[in-house]
Structure 1
Amino acid sequence: MIKKSFILGIAALSFVTFSTQTFAAGGEHTVEKGESLWDIGKEKSVSVIQLKEANNLKSNEIQPGQTIKIPENNVTTEDRELLAQLVHAEAKGEPYAGKVAVATVVLNRVDSTEFPDTIKSVIYQVSNGHYAFSPVQNGQINQAPSQEARDAVQEALAFRGQGKGSLFFYNPVTSTSDWITSRDTLLTIGKHRFAK
């Protein structure tokens, strides 16, 4: 059921877009039977796009026994855990696809020239005296994340760079900002709208 919900969420997202050591610092991976680029991306915290570029692949097709280069990744274990904490706080009670989408918004911001260029600086960004994410202000960011939130982060990292790149999300029932509700909505998952 979770996998089906996630696949539906990823299809919809295609319309949108504990140490400090670097995880998956490059190297190689030998493809096992039944493994996909998607599986490898989730395991190694790299996007499928990065895997394809590093291996000069034109399609997602890979074969058992094939050696795949794993590109260096600048997402630390600490970054992944912080992002999972945000996902847990922001998307508690939301469907799994919504959790992936929240993590994707943060990664889209990191990749955008309009926002800071690290996960930590995006999450803790303050503009005009307002925090970018309410769990940072109210302290909920400090709660331990669920395993589902951690899994959602891994999915978002593998999905990174695909879709139209939503940069915002909000709950239209609780939002008090006219500015955010004026943004172009690309997708709705659960109680959140994702916008550009």
Structure 2
Amino acid sequence: MRKMITKLVAVSTLAVSLVAIQGPVSEASAATTHQVKAGDTLWLLGKKYGVSAQELQSTNKKSSHLLFVGEKLTIPETITNAEKDLLARIVHAEAVGEPYAGKVAVATVILNRVDSKLFPNDIKSVIYQKDQGYYAFTPVQNGTINQPADGEAKAAVQEALAFRGMGNESLYFYNPKTAKGDWIRAREVTINIGNHRFAK
């Protein structure tokens, strides 16, 4: 009996040692599930993980927005960190000096384009899309997209990702004071924020 206990202690110690050697769980695998804490909402979790609240609800087969403390939610895969950075840089370049809501709206336009059949189906292709030799977005044309994004642009991207699929389907934005061409002005306006007019 004593030999058996000694063996069990040795095996347990070995198991603990192996866990310690493996080191901390990576951020990517840690983000695949979330244990609900007091104050959590689908919206706040969407902003935290950069995934739409609708997708969170659907993935976890929830018929309402009600969350229970202690329940485990699966966090669906979302866009990559590189895509988030690119999206934040275009938001920063396009909407510098604009209100925060305008920055969220710019990020939402990019995401709406990704989701639309009229545009490419990934963030990079939408941002770098060309038409008649010109890029769709001025910061790509003039290189300001290469400047790092500030914290507000990054936060706007997270919020736009959480809001994804719940907007008014804006696919375009422009400054009515500087925009050239009648085709953009002929589009249905969805909202005006700061110096930008959003349309579909």
Bin for the TM-score computed over the shorter chain = 0.7 to 0.9
Write out per-residue CA displacement over residues 123-172 of structure 1, whole angstroms, 9 at most, x where no aligned residue: 00001112110000011101111100000000000111112210000000
Contact 1:109/1:122 (8 A) holds in 2: yes
Distance (Å, rounded) in 2 between the aligned partners of 1:86 and 1:24:
28
- Is residue 194 from structure 1 mapped to residue 198 from structure 2 by the alignment? yes
1:78 corresponds in structure 2 to 82
Question: What is the RMSD computed on CA atoms of the aligned residues?
Answer: 1.6
- Same amino acid, percent of matched pairs: 56
Distance (Å, rounded) in 1 between the aligned partners of 2:150 and 2:191:
24
Distance (Å, rounded) in 2 between the aligned partners of 1:25 and 1:101:
30
- Structure 1 residue 65 displacement after superposition: 1.1
* Equivalent in 106, 110, 113 of residue 114 of structure 2: 110
Distance (Å, rounded) in 2 between the aligned partners of 1:24 and 1:176:
47
Distance (Å, rounded) in 1 between the aligned partners of 2:190 and 2:111:
17
Indicate the structure (1 or 2) with the bigger Cα radius of gyration. Answer: 2
1:164 corresponds in structure 2 to 168
Matched position secondary structure for 1:193 = strand
Distance (Å, rounded) in 1 between the aligned partners of 2:98 and 2:144:
16
Q: Which runs of 5+ in 2 are unaligned?
A: 1-27
Distance (Å, rounded) in 2 between the aligned partners of 1:135 and 1:60:
38
Distance (Å, rounded) in 1 between the aligned partners of 2:174 and 2:63:
36
Contact 1:24/1:44 (8 A) holds in 2: no
The one-letter code of the counterpart of 2:73 is I
Distance (Å, rounded) in 2 between the aligned partners of 1:92 and 1:27:
33
- Is residue 100 from structure 1 mapped to residue 109 from structure 2 by the alignment? no
2:48 corresponds in structure 1 to 43
Contact 1:26/1:71 (8 A) holds in 2: no
Cα separation, partners in 2 of 1:138 and 1:25, compared to 1, 3 Å: farther
The one-letter code of the counterpart of 1:171 is N
Normalization by structure 2: what TM-score?
0.83
Cα separation, partners in 2 of 1:142 and 1:42, compared to 1, 3 Å: same
- Structure 1 residue 56 displacement after superposition: 1.3
The one-letter code of the counterpart of 1:195 is A
* Equivalent in 152, 158, 166 of residue 148 of structure 1: 152
Matched position secondary structure for 1:161 = coil
Q: Which runs of 5+ in 1 are unaligned?
A: 1-22
Structure 1 runs of 4+ aligned residues shifted over 4 Å read: 23-26
- Structure 1 residue 111 displacement after superposition: 0.5
Greater percentage in helix: 2
